[in-house]
């Protein structure tokens, strides 16, 4: 578990380098540690190395980890596909949901968010590069959805999220991130007040930070390779 601390340090260094290249402050980029499929002792190691925000994709797995880790002040982010049968657990147990892509899901999250908790922070997932997934709202439907979600009382719409198709080349990686940034700017020009671009993973965080990412979701670079059968954001 010493490697987790070392990996975290290396990822923080990459974030700082990318921010510097982009003439941005490293402190303007939040690191979300994506702990899906990894055991609670890995999360404890990351916590001891200073990490507070963790991302999970599978509701049942996340609830078990939260229960085992309730002695730690962690901030939990749901980043997996959101179906109707998962909204209640997400509304009750998470601080953030990054993958809202339909009004019906947003309405359920708002209705199910407990009164004793602050509003649920949400990002709208956008399908920016025609990735193989069906997740994410089409760019031309984003504005209507965003304005509707922003009206929901128990949600706080924070920004946009994307999972572009994996490509190797830096300039190719930048394109979908630039598109997401431009979509956010358009919404803000329409009068919204969005501050979050959730984009960039282990393999493309440099390109994402160059294009304005305010939150990068990093799993394997911190915790190691995931078992192949659950190795993707689509599960």
Footprint of ligand PLP (CB under 6 A): 34, 36, 57, 79, 163, 201-203, 217-221, 233
Q: Which residue is nearest to ligand PLP (CB)?
A: 219
Question: Helices 103-112 and 142-150: crossing angle, nearest 10°?
Answer: 10
Least Cβ distance, residue 49 to ligand PLP (angstroms): 17
Instruction: Tell me, rounded to whole angstroms, the distance of Cα 39 from its chain centroid.
Output: 20
Least Cβ distance, residue 213 to ligand PLP (angstroms): 12
What are residue 33's DSSP bridge partners? 54, 218
In sequence order, the 6+-apart residues with CB closer than 8 A to the CB of 205 are 11, 14, 15, 18, 213, 216, 218
Least Cβ distance, residue 62 to ligand PLP (angstroms): 12
Q: Which is nearer to ligand PLP, 10 or 193 (CB)?
A: 10
Q: Which is nearer to ligand PLP, 128 or 218 (CB)?
A: 218
Least Cβ distance, residue 220 to ligand PLP (angstroms): 3
Q: Which is nearer to ligand PLP, 186 or 220 (CB)?
A: 220
Nearest CA among 23, 177, 53 for reference residue 121 = 53
At 104, give phi and psi (nearest 5°): -60, -40
Least Cβ distance, residue 92 to ligand PLP (angstroms): 21
Q: Which is nearer to ligand PLP, 112 or 203 (CB)?
A: 203
Least Cβ distance, residue 55 to ligand PLP (angstroms): 7
What are residue 216's DSSP bridge partners? 31
Q: Which is nearer to ligand PLP, 210 or 221 (CB)?
A: 221
Least Cβ distance, residue 36 to ligand PLP (angstroms): 6
Please measure the distance between the N-terminal and C-terminal CA atoms of the chain and give it in whole angstroms. 26
Q: Which is nearer to ligand PLP, 54 or 187 (CB)?
A: 54
Three-state SS string across 145-202, please?
HHHHHHCCCCEEEEEEECCCCCCCCHHHHHHHHHHHHHHHHHHHHCCCCCCEEECCCC
Q: Which is nearer to ligand PLP, 179 or 186 (CB)?
A: 179
- CA gap 32, 211 in Å, rounded: 18
> Is beta strand 96-100 parallel, antiparallel or unpaired with respect to 30-34?
unpaired
**Other Cβ atoms closer than 10 A to 190:** 10
What are residue 159's DSSP bridge partners? 123, 196
């Amino acid at each position: 578990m010493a490697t987790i601390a070392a990996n975290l340090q290396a990822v923080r260094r990459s974030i700082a380098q990318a921010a510097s290249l982009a003439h941005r402050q490293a402190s303007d980029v939040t690191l979300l540690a994506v702990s899906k499929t990894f055991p609670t002792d890995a999360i404890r190691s990351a916590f001891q190395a200073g990490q507070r925000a963790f991302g999970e994709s599978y509701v049942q797995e996340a609830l078990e980890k939260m229960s085992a880790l309730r002695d730690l002040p962690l901030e939990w982010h749901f980043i997996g596909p959101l179906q109707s049968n998962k909204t209640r657990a997400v509304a009750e147990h998470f601080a953030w949901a990054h993958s809202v892509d339909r009004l019906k899901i947003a309405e359920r999250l708002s209705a199910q968010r407990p009164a004793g908790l602050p509003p649920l922070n949400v990002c709208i997932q956008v399908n920016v590069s025609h990735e193989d997934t069906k997740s994410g709202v089409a760019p031309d439907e984003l504005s209507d959805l965003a304005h509707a979600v922003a009206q929901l009382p128990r949600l706080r719409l924070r920004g946009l999220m994307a999972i572009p198709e994996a490509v190797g080349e830096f300039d190719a990686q930048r394109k979908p991130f630039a598109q997401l940034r431009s979509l956010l700017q358009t919404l803000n020009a329409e009068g919204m007040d969005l501050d979050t671009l959730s984009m960039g993973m282990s393999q493309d965080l440099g390109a994402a930070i160059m294009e304005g990412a305010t939150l990068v979701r990093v799993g394997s670079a911190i915790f190691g390779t995931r078992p192949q059968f659950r190795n993707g954001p689509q599960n």
